[in-house]
Amino acid sequence: MKKTLTLLSLALSLTGFSQYREFAELAPATLEEEPLTPSFDYFLEELSVFQWEWDNHECHVDSIDLSLSEDTIHLNWVDRRHGSFQLPMNGQLRSKFGWRGSRYHYGVDLKLSTGDTIYAAFDGKIRYAQYNRGGYGNLVVIRHYNGVETYYAHLSKFLVDTNQYVRSGQAIGLGGSTGRSTGPHLHFEVRYLGNAINPEEVINFETGELISKEMDITSDVFSYKKEMRARRYHRVRSGETLSALARRYHTSVSSICRLNGISRNSIIRIGQNLRVR
Ligand SMILES: [Zn+2]
């Protein structure tokens, strides 16, 4: 009893009780073995998930670089309480996770028509829902119960507000082309503690199903970051030549040409971003 009381007062001091009530009201009461109100352990666990770096105005949390971590974190994508997954939308995969020229594309792009409905992939709470000047346009970020966040960008309309709880499959916005976008599409990201995960390691976009109900998060999932650290780019300034760049970065003209898909006779422009390593 004493333990329960301590937990209760800790819980109440950690957050307003209204937040807890909001959550309790959302909890499904259909399964017989499911308690109507969550256990306090469960409650505290979820509190910390929705408190850590909970910022409604910055789209990215301060990331802990998991490519340097030696730990293995076991994640469940769905559990008995937060039970389901739904594809954010049914659309052809137009662009994959990975390098796009000198920039890294941290998500996948799904083709859509402006106005198509976008759904929450998993249960969670809206951490961010506003116009983002960094290129995402109208962006919704949902934090899920396992701590993972999903990003839905370039929306034409918001159907949710920050700090609102959502269920998997709930409509959160309409697709569009706001922000840095060349046509209507959904840019979709999956991030854990700020680290982007290739969505195709989580979701099979052809079948619309999860690759697996669980996943081990190790540094291998973020090995692309090592490759990113190894890469070097150089913005060409007036008077610079390929051979000058090769000398400067202790490499060869042919290597720079190979990395950029150009020939040694190619004309390089001022302001061009060349990969040199
Ligand atoms: Zn994209």
3-state secondary structure of 3: helix
108 alpha carbon – ligand 1 mean position (Å): 5
Please provide residue 256's backbone torsions phi and psi, each rounded to the nearest 5 degrees: -60, -40
CATH of the domain at 253: 3.10.350.10
Give the DSSP H or E segment for 109: strand 108-111
Residue 10 has pLDDT above 80, yes or no: no
User: 188 alpha carbon to ligand 1 midpoint, in Å?
Assistant: 7
Query: pLDDT band at 38, cuts 50/70/90?
Result: low
Beta carbons within 10 angstroms of residue 192's beta carbon: 21
Residues 230-249: tens digit of each pLDDT? 888 899 999 999 999 999 88
Domain co-membership, 206 together with 256: no
Q: Are residues 110 and 247 in the same domain?
A: no
Is residue 50 in a domain?
A: yes
**CA 105 to ligand 1 centroid distance, Å:** 6
- The answer as to whether 227 is a domain residue is no
Residue 176 domain flag: yes
Q: Which residue has the higher pLDDT, 277 or 157?
A: 157
Decide if 81 is inside a domain. Answer: yes
Concatenated DSSP letters of 239-274: T--HHHHHHHTT--HHHHHHHHT--TTPPPPTT-EE
Q: Are residues 175 and 250 in the same domain?
A: no
Q: Answer yes or no: is pLDDT of 18 > 50.
A: no
Residues 163 and 243 in one domain: no
Instruction: Measure 172 CA to ligand 1 centroid, in angstroms.
Output: 18
Given a cut of 70, whether residue 7 has pLDDT beyond it is no
CATH number of residue 40's parent domain = 2.70.70.10
| Distance in Å, CA 166 to ligand 1 centroid | 23
User: Crossing angle of helices 40-49/2-14, nearest 10°?
Assistant: 20
Does residue 224 fall inside a structural domain? no
Residues 11, 122 share a domain: yes
Residues 29 and 145 in one domain: yes
Q: Are residues 131 and 244 in the same domain?
A: no
| Residue 94 CA, ligand 1 centroid: distance in Å | 9
Residues 92-139: pLDDT tens digits?
999 999 988 778 999 999 999 999 999 999 999 999 999 999 999 999
DSSP string, 210-229: ES-SEEEE-GGGGHHHHHHH
Are residues 209 and 250 both part of a single domain?
no
Q: Is the dihedral of CA 121, 172, 93, 223 positive or negative?
A: negative
Task: Judge if 18 and 89 occupy the same domain.
Answer: yes
Ligand 1 centre to CA of 85 (Å) is 21
Token pair belonging to 213: 């109900």
**Assigned domain for 226 exists:** no
Q: How far is the CA of 153 from the centre of ligand 1 (A)?
A: 8
CA of 109 to the centre of ligand 1 (A): 5
Residues 253 and 125 in one domain: no
Report the separation in Å between the CA atom of 123 and the middle of ligand 1, taken as the mean of its atom positions.
23
Say whether 20 sits in a helix, a strand or coil: helix
Task: Compute the distance from residue 17 Cα to the ligand 1 centre, in Å.
Answer: 39
Residues 241 and 170 placed together within one structural domain of the fold: no
For the record, the structure tokens of 22 come out as 């909001």
Rounded CA separation 2/10 (Å): 12
Alpha carbon of 161 to ligand 1 centroid (Å): 23
- Assess if residue 225 is contained within a domain: no
Domain count of the fold of the chain: 2
Q: Which of 81-85, 143-147, 198-202, 252-256 has the lowest mean pLDDT?
A: 81-85
Q: Using one digit for the tens of pLDDT, what is the confidence trace for 178-215?
A: 999 999 999 999 999 999 999 999 999 999 999 999 99
Output the CA 78–ligand 1 centroid distance in Å: 25
79 with 208, same domain: the answer is yes
What separation in Å is there between the alpha carbon of 168 and the centre of ligand 1? 22
Residue 166 lies in a domain: yes
* Domain range enclosing 155: 1-218
Measured in Å, residue 67 CA sits from the centre of ligand 1 at 22
- Is the pLDDT score of 149 beyond 60? yes
